[in-house]
Homo-oligomer: A and B are copies of this chain.
Amino acid sequence: MKFILLALISIAFAAAPTKAKKPIASDLVAESLASDWRQPVLENTLYLDLPAGRVVIELAPEFAPNHVQNIKALSQEKYWDGLAIVRVQDNYVVQWADPNAEKAESKRKLKGAKATLPAEFDVPLLAKIPFTPMPDKDVYAPETGFSNGFSVGRDAKTKRMWLLHCYGAIGAGRDVAPESGGGTELYAVIGHAPRHLDRNTTVVGRVIFGMEYLSSLSRGHGPLGFYDKGEANVPIKGLHLASDVPEKDRVKLEILRTDTPLFKKYIESRRNRVEDWFHFQAGHIDICNVTVPVRKIN
């Protein structure tokens, strides 16, 4: 069988260090120091437990402070436990919600969390937040780069910044009014980055582990990929903060820091691939094609 196509792993064996003039991604990761990695903050980490497995989500309080606070409150009052994934639209989004949201008598009641919030489509650009800019022009945003592992758009003129809808981004669903979201319904991007959604919804975080348990779900066949009446919603066993889960039940992860010299080299290693397999170097890269490495520890 041919080991076709880029090969982050196998190429590490194929390319002798003396041959590659620039480092390749897998070598950079292999040579990284402990200080090149960070552990996600437990209080900003969500576990979405589905029948097939656990999806780990890192929240972004710097980019959606009120939504993140509300999502934490929702998780702590167990708002989502027993609710369901109700929509899987191919090349677009998976979405979870209360299937009875429109039935006054049977819908899930809120305890202290809010049903809706003012939009946080973008926030003031803060210089104190680390930002590693991308080397190439983006199709959609004046400037893009990485802040704390998140892909970010910025506009120096308006002095605003916002999270991008790359693969795995988690956003708050809403109706037509900007202030109709709040976090009770969330979606995850499972296809080509729908960047036209940038600054149209509040992005609250991103999937850092277990993405396959969302992306491989059966597609819904109702309008917009909602599950049809004959199709089964996917039950949510629980959606809890890692800090609320006993230590023995946590997933121990490390994420490559994005504010280091190593990460700049990593971007370049994905931008111009020097592995033997590649005969044409792109010389450019779309930020959504830079996947921040995550590793499971112990």
Contacts and interface: CB of A to CB of B under 8 A. Distances in A.
A58 interface: no
A180 B2 contact: yes
Main secondary structure of the interface of A (DSSP, over half): loop
Closest 3 CB pairs of A and B: A4-B173, A212-B219, A199-B280
A133 to B, nearest CB: 14
Interface stretch (A31-39, A70-78, A135-143, A256-264): A135-143
A284 B5 CA distance: 30
Contacts of A110: none
Given A7-B224, A139-B285, A289-B195, A176 B277 contact: yes
Given A139-B139, A212-B219, A216-B216, A200 B166 contact: no
Contacts of A4: 95, 173-175, 181, 185, 187, 201
A273 interface: yes
Nearest to A9: B223
A5, A187, A198, A284: which has the most chain B beta carbons within 10 Å? A5
Interface residues of A, number: 76
A276 interface: yes
A217 B121 CA distance: 33
12 contacts: A1-B226, A2-B175, A2-B185, A4-B174, A5-B187, A5-B224, A9-B223, A91-B167, A167-B191, A176-B276, A178-B279, A193-B289
Contact of A197 (B6, B140, B166, B288): B6
Interface stretch (A43-51, A97-105, A237-245): A97-105
Interface in A241-298: 270, 273, 276-280, 282, 284-286, 288-289, 291
Interface in A119-149: 121, 136-140
A218 interface: yes
A5 B201 contact: yes
B196 A273 contact: yes
A196 B101 contact: no
A111 interface: no
B5 A196 contact: no
A243 to B, nearest CB: 27
Contacts of A185: 1-2, 4
A213 to B, nearest CB: 9
A278 B200 contact: yes
